[in-house]
Amino acid sequence: MPTLDTPAERLAAVAEATTVVIFRRFRSEPHDVIAVFPEIPADYGHLVQSYMHIGQHGGCDYQTLVDQTRPAGADDDDVKELRAELERIGYRLEVRRRVTAEMDDARRAAVAVLKNPHLSGRTVREILGR
């Protein structure tokens, strides 16, 4: 992994980065859409970051959310609106349908870096000892 020594290099890396997102729709009224970011921790444990029109960013337990929601299709107007809102505030989104083990590992590695900043710059594999 290359080191990013200058502020310009760090800014360029952030500008190129994409954020994995999964869109879900609540089963209960009013059937709102939520964007879930499975690689971004919302705490030092298992919560992931999420975003909705109302309330905006917040943490959520992905497994509980899956029980309360269903997948939301990319062609859904509410998904298009929420995606546009996220892109307006600076996200470069990579839309996925479900969480993978790699996404969970990325979130766990991010938590490890938050707890131990000296791990910054290492790969997920190095951080998780794999």
Is 112 part of any domain?
Answer: yes
pLDDT band at 52 (very low <50, low <70, confident <90, very high): very high
Domain that holds residue 36: 18-123
What are 22-41's pLDDT values in tens digits? 999 999 999 999 999 999 99
Percentage above 70 pLDDT, the chain: 88
Is 3 part of any domain?
Answer: no
Is 5 part of any domain?
Answer: no
Q: Is 96 left (phi over 0), alpha (psi -120 to 50) or beta?
A: beta
More confident residue, 55 or 103: 103
Number of domains the chain is built from: 1
Q: Is residue 82 within 8 Å of 23, Cβ to Cβ? A: yes
Tokens of 64: 């509980």
More confident residue, 5 or 66: 66
pLDDT band at 121 (very low <50, low <70, confident <90, very high): confident
> Average pLDDT, whole number, for the chain?
89
Is 30 part of any domain?
Answer: yes
Is 97 part of any domain?
Answer: yes
pTM of the model: 0.84
- Identify the H or E element spanning 36: strand 33-41
Q: How many CB atoms lie within 10 A of CB 79?
A: 20
Percentage above 90 pLDDT, the chain: 66
Report how far residue 22's alpha carbon sits from residue 96's, in angstroms, rounded to the nearest whole number.
5
Is 6 part of any domain?
Answer: no
Q: Does pLDDT of 11 surpass 60?
A: no
3-state secondary structure of 54: coil
Is 12 part of any domain?
Answer: no
DSSP code, position 20: E
